[in-house]
Amino acid sequence: ASSPLQLASNLVAMHTTTALAGVAVFLPTAAAFFGAPLPLAGGRPGLAATSRAGSLSVNMNTQDAQPGLNRRRFVGGTIGGAAALGLGALFPVQSAEAAGKGKAGPRLPQGEWNELVASNKISKQAYSVLHDADTERPFTSPLNKEKRPGVFKCAACATPAFLSETKFNSGTGWPSFYDKLEGVELEADNKMDFLAQRQEVHCVKCGGHFGHVFNDGAAWKVPTGKRYCINGLSLAFSPNDATEAA
């Protein structure tokens, strides 16, 4: 039989292993939520990377790929790791019907996304945001300073997304709005976003990723109490076009 000292030693070793596994899963997730960029292509400048697992070959070096983090694929893998640790019991799985509503992810055929980039309708950086849910660097979007009346549309499919009258200066570094149009859909059933007190927002037509909505709008005294924090790369602005979205 094992001695009390051996049993105590085994118990400590077991809990230490579990704690280290938890850190391995949740530390990268925390970095994802708080904007710490993960290295692209092993962190070596100039090394070509293939976006969306080979679906589109894009030279993702450090000069032409400002978005530093593919949240959709990374968080998806992290959720799987959390499930392996037995945390699934804390977050019961919803019905298939509920899970299907507002599901994030590209909805256009991959060939159409490729053509959007090849024809320069969207940039490689915009593709990374819209298709792969990357996040642009704060304070880099020209739309932060856009104050003309008009409509902000999906950069990929031109679906009206936000009216200029709902835009406000949040000081966060990304274009911010307090309300959306019907062309914007909220993602459902994302447990990690639920923990971060936010929801992903995307285009209802093409599924392109826009950003996230937070319920902290009261800090800016906006009428809805919501702050839609949006990547400027995901939008195209059409001035004096407000009546089109009405």
The tokens for 185 are 């859909």
The tokens for 90 are 């804390």
Dihedrals phi, psi of 236, to nearest 5 degrees? -130, 135
CA-to-CA distance for 231 and 68, rounded, in angstroms? 13
SS3 130: helix
For residue 43, the number of C-alpha atoms closer than 13 Å in the C-beta half-sphere is 3
Catalytic residue among 154, 157, 206, 229: 229
SS3 113: helix
CA-to-CA distance for 136 and 125, rounded, in angstroms? 8
SS3 229: strand
Which secondary-structure segment (H or E) carries 110? Answer: helix 110-118
CA-to-CA distance for 56 and 77, rounded, in angstroms? 21
* Tokens 């826009």 sit on residue: 210
Strand-strand pairing, 227-230 and 209-214: antiparallel
The tokens for 11 are 């118990």
Q: Catalytic: 203?
A: no
For residue 36, the number of C-alpha atoms closer than 13 Å in the C-beta half-sphere is 7
- Residues annotated as catalytic are 229
